[in-house]
Amino acid sequence: MLGFNQGDRSVPSARDRSGESVAEPGAGAPGVLVAVGEAEIAPLIRTIESEIIPRLLLAHKGAASLVAEAGVLVELPTREHIAEFAGLVLVQDATAASRYIEAMVDQGFLLETLYLHLLAPAARHIGELWSQDLCDFVEVTMALGRIQHVIREFSPAFRETRDSAPVEARRILLAPAPGEQHAMGLMMLREFFLRSGWEVVGGPSTSTEEVAVQVASQWFDVIGISVGSECRLNGLASWLAALRRVSHNPSVRIMLGGPELTANPQLAGLLGADATASDARTAVLEAEILAPRRANPQ
């Protein structure tokens, strides 16, 4: 039902998923000898490295398991990984979830990749199980709490992967939409902004009243609001307009995020926001476009 064998709680070890043997060097067609000079073979080697090997990897691992990021092929968790991890956090404790992540890191997966392509999809998968009545509210709450524990536990290591220290910190206020209880998305968003050198204020527990006070009394380059469900869109446009009116920064930028915005990006503009993003990494990039560094921070 969950794609997770509850009898086998072990994390899958690294292995050759193709199941095919690799020929030994020099095991080509017998009896064929071709004299090739170094100048002729160099382009062939480059072609093999840049095109043929990646295509073989895609064929063996599945087209969805590798993506190109900054010109480098990065392996993604599979759908089986997602279902297995979701099942794990539904039936076991946070320690087991952390060990699963550690094992995947040991296999070569990047923490950023696991945040975006394992933890977030696993949370969505658990939500789908709940909507299908395959698990109850308590199980969902416990499972999402374990995923949040993983984010907190790996936070120091995740932030250490930042390329370089920023010249100065831009400031962002993160908060849920009024009446929203969505927490995990904001937790992950906070980690990505901190790693990118932003000063982050607020988070999942920030109330609507606190947002208004902080926006009026402090300088923020960006306000990031998480919207977890369609019903939270009611009245959101007028609330955002009110925040702009009282903002200490008259040019503050507002970003919205959440499932409804991902499915309908045009909603952001209609609600009076400046941008939206489909994931935490893209949110940071969008925010840095919206809010260039200030020469004289307030």
Residue-wise pLDDT for 199-218, tens only, equals: 999 988 889 999 999 999 99
Q: Can you give the pLDDT at residue 233?
A: 78
Tell me, yes or no, whether 68 lies in a domain.
no
Taking 70 as the pLDDT cut, the residues of the chain under it are 1-73, 161-168, 182, 230-232, 293-298
Q: Which residues pair with 174 in a beta bridge?
A: 202, 224
The pTM for the full model equals 0.66
Q: Can you give the pLDDT at residue 182?
A: 65
CATH number of the domain that 179 lies in? 3.40.50.280
Q: How many domains does the chain have?
A: 2
Q: Can you give the pLDDT at residue 72?
A: 53
The whole domain housing 252 covers: 171-290
Q: Can you give the pLDDT at residue 175?
A: 94
Q: Can you give the pLDDT at residue 291?
A: 86
| 222-226 vs 253-257, strand pairing mode | parallel
Q: Can you give the pLDDT at residue 295?
A: 45
Residues 177 and 258 in one domain: yes
- From residue 101, alpha-carbon distances to 65, 85, 155, 197, 213 in Å are 17, 9, 13, 24, 38
In whole angstroms, give the CA distance from residue 289 to residue 121.
26
Last residue of a domain, one of 159, 194, 221: 159
Phi, psi of 239 (to 5 degrees): -65, -45
Q: Can you give the pLDDT at residue 293?
A: 63
Contact indicator for 219, 182 with CB cutoff of 8 Å: no
Last residue of a domain, one of 159, 179, 207: 159
CATH number of the domain that 83 lies in? 1.10.1240
